[in-house]
Structure 1
Amino acid sequence: MAKQILNQGRRWYVLHTYSGYEENVARNLKQRVDTLDMGDQIFNVLVPTEKKTKIKNGKRKIVEEKVFPGYVMVEMIVTDESWYVVRNTPNVTGFIGVGSTPTPVGDEEIKGLMKRMGQEDPKFKIDVNIGDLVRITEEPFKNMEGKITNIDEAKGKIKVNVSMFGRETPVELDFLQIKKV
């Protein structure tokens, strides 16, 4: 940042990190801010996550998943000193922006991200795709097989075409009622 002070005030920026090191970067950066007394320029460090419900082997499990793997959000005032502290944190590969100049994230994007992170109902995540062959595990269609035609992760529902009476019939099921063949 060649002796340039970007006095845009307190804004959110995105750091690129090595994938899998996001929590490590956030922890290291917070520690550096405390050690170097930079709390008046670097305010928040955040690894955006959201709760998702994964279904594996018929069991439902709520997990925290990173919204943007390989990225960390930092709220700061960009000065030569704050830029240097952030940029030289271990496993930070750089800021998102043009050249060495960080580009702030828009206020609407931040509001949307905070809302997404604060959601109470976890989203569903299942390891099947449209067109996959599945077996139904519960009555009234137990042990019947069919192809997935629609997946609604928000509701935890799935539509499967099952062959009954010589023709394909769509059936709506819960994620827990199927198993991949």
Structure 2
Amino acid sequence: MRPESSIPTLLPAEIPEAKWYCLRAQPKHEHIAAARLRQCEEIQVFCPRVRIQRSTRRGLVWFTEALFPNYLFARFEWVQSHALVRSCQGVSGIVRFGDHVPEVPAGTLDDLRAYMEDAELKTVSFNIDEGDDVEIVEGPFRGQNGVVKQLLPARERVKVLLEVLGGATEVDLCLTSVFKEAAVLV
């Protein structure tokens, strides 16, 4: 038995602290990686997803997809858990820039959670649908009218068909840069 004085004590500044990191997941496996990581008590996971409705040949269908495709966030103590996190099913790796592994500021995750209304799954509804006539209200095509061809909600973008130089051209635009035109009553 060791005497009490030989047991090292860690001061608060020396205690390893869990931090948030961004993880790269295998394609379409964000939810699998999150589920596996949640099985470890020392790892906290945040994998924001959106639930959207899309038009298909079968009609309107609800889809769930990652808010950040191929990425999720995990909070863990680096020295203790990084090898476990890297080898977890569904995880492709930990985001790094050369030898530097950036920490995600806790405030950033707090803001993201607030946007997601403290849930990992948020239902997103758009007042713009495929086939709607829209006016572009910002950017180089400002003032032009077009038709919505496709909604890209995970990226908060919309594909609009415009008449440019006498031909039809599809343009990828931010959702906030288009405005649905009011129906004209005759």
TM-score range, shorter chain: 0.5 to 0.7
Following superposition, the deviation at residue 105 of structure 1 comes to 0.8
Alignment of 1:76-87 (within 5 A): 76-79=76-79, 81-87=80-86
Q: Name the SS for the 1:130 alignment partner.
A: strand
Which residue of the other structure, out of 22, 28, 31, is the alignment partner of 2:30?
A: 22
Q: 1:108 to 1:152 in 2, by over 3 A?
A: same
What residue in structure 1 maps to residue 161 of structure 2?
Answer: 131
Following superposition, the deviation at residue 8 of structure 1 comes to 6.3
Give CA deviations for 1:100-145 in whole Å, capped at 9, x if unaligned.
5531112332122112222877232644333359xxxxxxxxxxxx
- Normalised TM-score (structure 2): 0.54
Q: 1:51 to 1:90 in 2, by over 3 A?
A: closer
What residue in structure 2 maps to residue 176 of structure 1?
Answer: none
Q: 1:90 to 1:63 in 2, by over 3 A?
A: closer
Q: Give the whole-Å Cα distance in 2 for the aligned partners of 1:121 and 1:101.
A: 35
Give CA deviations for 1:19-43 in whole Å, capped at 9, x if unaligned.
1111111122223x1xxxxx2x32x
Q: 1 or 2 for the larger relative contact order (CA 8 Å, sep ≥6)?
A: 1
| Aligned partners of 2:48 and 2:66 also within 8 Å | yes
What residue in structure 2 maps to residue 158 of structure 1?
Answer: 180
Q: Give the whole-Å Cα distance in 2 for the aligned partners of 1:157 and 1:8.
A: 50
Aligned residue pairs: how many?
A: 133
| Aligned partners of 1:50 and 1:116 also within 8 Å | no
Following superposition, the deviation at residue 11 of structure 1 comes to 2.0
- Normalised TM-score (structure 1): 0.55
Q: 1:96 to 1:158 in 2, by over 3 A?
A: same
What residue in structure 1 maps to residue 20 of structure 2?
Answer: 12
Q: Give the whole-Å Cα distance in 1 for the aligned partners of 2:105 and 2:91.
A: 22
Q: Give the whole-Å Cα distance in 1 for the aligned partners of 2:25 and 2:92.
A: 5
Q: Name the SS for the 2:78 alignment partner.
A: coil
Identity of aligned residues (%): 19
| Aligned partners of 1:10 and 1:77 also within 8 Å | yes
Q: Give the whole-Å Cα distance in 1 for the aligned partners of 2:81 and 2:179.
A: 47
